[in-house]
Amino acid sequence: MGFLKCQIIVIFLFYYLIIAQPNFSLQCNVTEYPPNGTYHTNLNTLVSSLSCNIDSDGFYNATIGQDQDRVSAIAQCRADVELQACRDCINNATRLILEKCPSKKSAFEVYDVCLIRYSNESFIGTMSTDPRSIYFVLGDFSNPQLFFNQYLEPVLTSLRTRASAGGKRKFAANVFSAPDFQTIHALVQCTSDLSARDCYECLTAIYSSLLGCECYAKRGNYYIMPSCIVRYEPYSFFNESLLAEAPPPLLSPPQPASLPPPPPPPPVVIFVVCIPVILMKRRKRKLVYKRESIRDDDTSSAESLKYDFSTIRAATDNFSNDNKLGQGGFGPVYKGKLPNGQEVAVKRLAANSGQGDLEFKNEVLLVARLEHRNLVRLLGFCFDGTERLLIYEFVPNASLDHFLFDPVKRKHLDWERRSKIIGGLARGILYLHEDSRLRIIHRDLKASNVLLDAEMNPKISDFGMARLFVMDESQGITSKIAGTYGYMAPEYAMQGKMSVKSDVFSFGVLVLEILGGQRNSCFINGEYVGNLLSYAWRNWREGTTSNLIDPMLRGGSGLVSDITRCIHIALLCVQENVADRPTMAAVVLMLSSLSLALSVPSKPGYYMQIYVSPNTSPIQGYKSRLTSESNRPAKSKSICLSQNEMSISELDPR
C-alpha cells in the first residue's frame, strides 16, 4: 500500500533520577522467521559471536548465510569504554535482544554503552535513520534560544566535523559551560561502518530533528538512530580520561548577572520511543530575507555548474519550438541534448530578473546544493548578456497533470502509484521546509509543477525560483503574490502572508486532486458547481467521503479505508485557520503511521455554502462569504494574479 504502512507507535514513560542513565533502547521488527530454521541457526551463531570478536576499536561486523537465510550484524561500543567493559556490555545486550525479539528478522538495540543491530537485509556500510528513539531531561533552560544559538549549536557542529573525520571510531566529545550555571557534557558517535560523509549526514539528521521538535530547550537529550547517536547531559556520563582527543576548554558563559537564579535540578527523565516527537511544535522562526555570497573556496563549484551559451543553444536547436516543453511564469522550458548525449531541460528566464551576473551565480550555486530524490535536480546555469538559463535534469514522463486529468492516462495511476506520489511529495516538501540548507517555501505547489520520472516517482520542480528574482520578502509578507488560483492559502492570497503552512495548504489541495482525479478549479460534480474544498468538506460532514474518490480507485473496503484516511489528512492541511494546519513533518508521520490517531478537521479555506458560477474563482467566492458573514465589504487589497506565474521564497538561510 505504498507508504501507508502500519507502524506501531508506542510511547513509554519511565521515570529516573536525574543522575540515572537509560539502560537500553530496543526496536524489534514485525517480520518474523520460522522457528528452528536455518535463519534462526545463523542468527544465534552470529549474534553469540559478537562479543568475543569485538576488536580494540570497539567494533565488529559480519554476515553469514545465503539468500533468504542470510543475516548481517554489527556490534559497537562507545569509544570511551575499555575493551573488557565493551565485551561485557555486548554479552548483556545479546541476551536481551534474543529474549525480547524472539523470531524477529531484524532488531536494533542500544544497551548502556554499546549497540547491537542485525537484519536479513544488507545494511552494513549504509546510513540508517530509522527507527529512532529519544530521551530528554525534564526542565528547560531559561532562554532556550540563547542556549542553542550561542552554546549548543557551535559545539554540536564542531563535534559533527570531528566525528565524521575521526577515523574508524567516528567519535567526539566535549564539556562546555551553559546558561543557568550548567555544565553540559556532550558526545556524538557514528557506527564505524559509515563513510565520513554518511556519518556527517546522519548527525545532521539528528540535529535537524532536535531543532524541529524544540528538544534543544531541554537540559539534556539522548537521540539514537541506528547509525549514529547524539547525547548531552548536565552531568558527566563518559570517561574523559580515555578519550583519544581531550575535549576543548570550557566555553565562557555570559555574565552571571544577566541570568536568572538557577532552578532546582529536574527530578525525572522521560523516554519517548519512535518518531512521534516530531509532532511537537516546530520552532517558530522570524522570517528575515537574507542573501549569501560565494566564498572563495566555492569558486570552483560555481564554475563547474556554468555552461556556455553556445552549447545550450546548440543543445536546444536554437530554442526551437519543436523542443519546447512548456511555458511557465518565469519563462519557457526546452528539451535539449548535451554533446555527451545527456538529455536536459532548459528554463529560459525572463530577460529582467533584477540581478547582476555575480548575484545570479551566487544564488544558483546555493539552490544547486539542494538535493533530494523528490526534487528536480538543478544541473547548472548559463548567462550571456541579458540571457539567464537554468539547466535541469530531464524527467521523461512530463508532469502529473498530464496523467491525472486525462481520462485515458489516469488509468496508469492506480492506488499504489498515487500513494507513492503523495508520500514522495510530502517528503520533498519536508526537505525544503526543514532539512535543506536553505529554508524554502515553494508557494506554487500544483500538479503541473510535479514531474514524474521513468518509475513514476514524483519530483517537485520550480523550487528556489524566488532566489533568482529580486522580491520584497521581508517579515514573511510579500507585495508580489505569485501562485495559482485554488492552490494558494487564503492568508497568502488575500493578505500576502506566507509561511510553511502556505505550502501545507497547497499540498492538501493537491492530495484531494490526486485522490479524486478532478481539478480544484471549476470543480463540477452533478448539480454541484463550486470548488473541490467545499465539496470535500460537505461530503466529509455528511459521511459520504467515498463520493470524493476517483471511480478508478474504488475497490475493496480496505482500499477505501486507506484513501479515506488520506482525504482526512488532506482536510487537515487545507483548514482555514493557519494554526490548525499540521507541519509537513506531522503530515509525513500521519501518512506513514496508520496507528496514529488523527484530529478532527475544521472548515477549509474558501469554503462556500452556496452553489456558485463555474466562472467564480475560489478567492472571489471566499470574499463573498466573508462579506455575507460580516455584512460589510471585505477588507482585502486588490491582487493581480496570473495562473501561470510561479515562484518560491527563501527564508532564513542555514
Distance CA 445, CA 425 (A): 10
Q: Say whether 129 sits in a helix, a strand or coil.
A: coil
Type and span of the H or E element at 382: strand 378-384
DSSP assignment of 152-184 equals IHHHHHHHHHHHHTSTTT-EEEEEEEETTTEEE
Q: Looking at the DSSP assignment, which residues form a beta bridge with residue 183? A: 177
Q: Say whether 117 sits in a helix, a strand or coil.
A: strand
Distance CA 499, CA 494 (A): 14
Establish whether 357 is a catalytic residue. no
The two beta strands, 387-393 and 343-348, are antiparallel
Catalytic residue among 444, 462, 503, 550: 444
Q: Say whether 638 sits in a helix, a strand or coil.
A: coil
Sign of the Cα pseudo-torsion (470, 476, 480, 485, in order)? positive
The two beta strands, 387-393 and 71-77, are unpaired
Residue 650 in grid coordinates: 527563501
Distance CA 182, CA 179 (A): 6
Whether 129 and 194 have beta carbons less than 8 Å apart is answered as no
Distance CA 87, CA 69 (A): 27
Rounded-to-10 torsion of CA 373, 376, 377, 379: 160
Is there a cis peptide before residue 131, judged by omega within 30 degrees of 0? yes
CA dist 595 to 133, 276, 511, Å? Answer: 18, 11, 20
Distance CA 391, CA 133 (A): 41
Distance CA 593, CA 8 (A): 7
Distance CA 282, CA 363 (A): 27
Whether 350 and 331 have beta carbons less than 8 Å apart is answered as yes
Nearest to 572 by CA among 525, 523, 539, 605: 605
Distance CA 442, CA 448 (A): 13
Span between the terminal Cα atoms of the chain, in Å: 36
Report how far Cα 175 is from the mean position of its chain's Cα atoms.
31
Distance CA 180, CA 147 (A): 10
Count of positions (residues) in the chain: 654
Nearest to 586 by CA among 466, 500, 469: 500
Rounded-to-10 torsion of CA 471, 476, 480, 484: 120
Whether 278 and 586 have beta carbons less than 8 Å apart is answered as yes
As annotated, the active-site residues are 444
